[in-house]
């Protein structure tokens, strides 16, 4: 259970739409490349209509503050099957990195699953507890320069560990032993803060463990704002929504 899981959902019925061309997509999409089961009718670069409007607002704010920057979209909507696949994939990759056998129950495997669970929402099929990305309300993104090349914000999107926490490099800068390390940490934190500032001003909420994850209208958003209700539940394609 996440702290936002008990928040009730009253879906407002907004459609799930493809991202407009004004927003840079990072392609090839990493989860498609990993073999995630999107299916013919599913596109990862989709969000709810109101979320897209807020994302465009965030991009305008960003370009007012730094004309050489733009938002770069890493991932958006995920069907539940993709969430399930990617949780298993993330656990397998972390086990490989740490030399843990993913098929043999152990304290080490439990530790990996716990740490991955800080970043990847459970693929719950309960309509009351949808993964944020399955609602069409959540987006993973970073900053890019005017040429479309992504900027370094100190860790890759989806990195497991403390390095992905939004304020990680503020701590690193305070504790740095030399000026080079301190200056690099300050740069990374400034970029994270810039991204967060425009997203928050546009009405998004940030995941507490992930510098790249923002949402508007889902349970996490309601929890962070102190609201009593979310406005987006899990999106499922049907004949009436296609």
pTM of the model: 0.94
What confidence score (pLDDT) does residue 240 get?
A: 44
The CA distances from residue 117 to 66, 124, 241, in Å, are 35, 13, 31
Give the tens place of pLDDT for each residue, 160-191.
999 999 999 999 999 998 999 999 999 999 99
Give the tens place of pLDDT for each residue, 79-135.
999 999 999 999 999 999 999 999 999 999 999 999 999 999 999 999 999 999 999
- Is the pLDDT assigned to residue 237 strictly greater than 90? no
What confidence score (pLDDT) does residue 39 get?
A: 84
- The distance from CA 187 to its chain's CA centroid, rounded to whole angstroms, is 21
**How many secondary structure helices (H) and strands (E) does the chain include?**
7, 7
What confidence score (pLDDT) does residue 242 get?
A: 40
CA distance 184 to 190: 10
- Is the pLDDT assigned to residue 241 strictly greater than 60? no
Average pLDDT over residues 8-27: 97
Average pLDDT over residues 201-207: 98
CA distance 131 to 218: 9
What confidence score (pLDDT) does residue 40 get?
A: 78
CA distance 63 to 47: 22
Domains detected in the chain = 16-148+214-225 (3.30.1380)
Mean pLDDT over each residue of the chain, to the nearest integer: 95
Beta strands 205-206; 213-215: pairing state: antiparallel
Percent of the chain whose predicted confidence (pLDDT) is above 70: 98
- Is the pLDDT assigned to residue 66 strictly greater than 80? yes
What confidence score (pLDDT) does residue 200 get?
A: 98
Active-site residue list? 210
What confidence score (pLDDT) does residue 239 get?
A: 42
- Is the pLDDT assigned to residue 54 strictly greater than 80? yes
């Amino acid at each position: 259970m996440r702290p936002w899981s008990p928040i009730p959902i009253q879906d407002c019925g907004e459609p799930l739409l493809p991202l407009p061309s004004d927003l840079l997509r990072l392609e090839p999409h990493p989860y498609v490349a990993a073999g995630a089961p999107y299916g013919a009718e599913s596109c990862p670069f989709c969000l709810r209509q109101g979320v897209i409007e807020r994302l465009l607002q965030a991009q305008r704010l960003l370009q007012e503050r730094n004309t050489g920057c733009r938002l770069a979209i890493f991932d958006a909507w995920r069907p539940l099957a993709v969430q399930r696949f990617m949780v298993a994939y993330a656990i397998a990759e972390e086990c490989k990195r740490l030399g843990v056998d993913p098929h043999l129950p152990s304290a080490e495997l439990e530790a990996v699953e716990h740490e991955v669970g800080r970043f990847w929402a459970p693929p719950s099929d309960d309509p009351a507890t949808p993964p944020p990305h399955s609602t069409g309300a959540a987006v993973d993104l970073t900053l890019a320069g005017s040429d479309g090349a992504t900027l370094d914000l100190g860790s890759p999107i989806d990195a497991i560990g403390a390095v992905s926490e939004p304020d990680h490099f503020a701590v690193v800068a305070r504790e740095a032993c030399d000026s080079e390390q301190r200056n690099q940490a300050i740069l990374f934190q400034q970029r994270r803060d810039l991204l967060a500032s425009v997203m928050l001003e546009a009405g998004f909420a940030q995941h507490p463990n992930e510098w790249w994850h923002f949402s508007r209208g889902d349970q996490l958003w309601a929890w962070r704002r102190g609201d009593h209700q979310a406005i987006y539940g899990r999106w499922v394609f049907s004949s009436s929504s296609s």
